Amino acid sequence: MIGEDGDQPAQGWMRERLHPAWAQALRVDRVLYDSATDHQRLRLFENETFGRVLTLDDVVQVTTGDEFIYHEMMAHVPILAHGAARRVLIVGGGDGGLAREVLRHPGVEHVTMVEIDAGVVAFCKAFLPTVSAGAFDDPRLALVIDDGAAFVARAGDSFDVILVDSTDPVGPGEVLFTETFYGRAKRRLAPGGILVTQNGVPFLQGAELATTMRAFRALFADATCYLATVPTYAGGPMALGWGSDGTARATPVPELARRMAAAGLALRYYTPEVHAAAFALPGYVRALMP
C-alpha cells in the first residue's frame, strides 16, 4: 500500500480499458495511494489537468478537476425540476460529491446515502476532502453502509428524489441496473417523485442505456434520459436516466431560474438553459429508446 507518507512521482500513464474497442490514458504525475478494499482496488494519483484522479479496478470514478459537472447535473436537474424535494436517497456516491450538491438545497430536510463499501467513504474523506466539502458532517445526512439494492428492497420511508450514483454494471454495481431494482426503487418514490440513474456513455455503452430505458418505459409515465459532457467519461456525452410519474420535466426555464435563485445556488456547469437543453437528445441516443 502506498500512502501519503510514501508518495511516488512520475509513474507514466494509466490506461483505462473499460470498453472493448476504446481506451483512454491519463498521465500519472504522482501516485498517492494504491491499495484494495474487500470489494475493489482503490488507486489515487495526480494529473496536471484533472487534479486528483480516483480509480476503482482501473476505471476512472472521479477527478477533482471535472467532478462538478457530473454531480451538479445529477443533483440539480431533478431537485430543481421537482421544486419541493424534502427527502432524497442517494444509492452509491461514496466520494460525497453528490451529497454535497444535494445538501446545497436548503429545502432538502433529509438525505439518506447508502454506500456498499465503507472503505471508499473513509478513503475519500481522507484523500478527496474537497469533493465532499463537509457533506459528511451535515446533520441532514444519514450515511448507511449497506447494499443499495437490498436497502431499496426493504419497506421504509419514501423519497421525493432517488439518485443512483453507481459504478458501471460490473461487480457490485451490476444489480443496480436490473428491472427488479428499478421497480423497487419506484415503490420507494413519493407521489411525483423522480428517479435518476447513471447510464454511461451511450456511444460506447448503448446497451446499458437501452436496457434501463426499456425498464423505465414499463414503469414510468415519463421515461427518458438527459446528457452531460464530462471530460474523463470519454467517448461522448454521458446519459443520466430519468423516470417519473409526475410532470416535473416540463418545468419551464424561468421557473427553474427562480428556484435556483431562491436556493442561492452559484454553479459552474448547471444553468436552467443547460437543464432544458440536456433533454434534447441526438438521433443516435433517441434510437436507443425502445
Answer whether 112's CB lies under 8 Å from 82's CB.
no
**90 residue type, one letter:** I
First-to-last alpha carbon distance for the chain, in angstroms, is: 46
DSSP secondary structure code for residue 107 in this structure: T
Q: Which of 70, 72, 71, 77 is nearest to 248 (CA)?
A: 77
Element housing 142 (H / E): strand 141-145
Whether the Cβ atoms of residue 45 and residue 242 lie closer than 8 Å to each other: no
165 is catalytic: yes
Catalytic residue among 165, 168, 222, 245: 165
Amino acid identity for residue 8 in this structure: Q
Copy the grid coordinates of residue 175.
444489480
Scan for cell 452531460, then name that residue.
228
| Torsion sign (Cα): 137, 230, 217, 256 | positive
Distance from C-alpha of 35 to C-alpha of 55, rounded to nearest angstrom: 11
C-alpha cell read off for 25: 490514458
Tell me how far apart the alpha carbons of residues 47 and 249 are, in angstroms, rounded to a whole number: 37
Question: Please, are residues 26 and 12 in contact by the beta-carbon 8 Å criterion?
Answer: no
Residue type, 215: A
Neighbours of 187 (CB within 10 A): 11
Active-site positions?
165
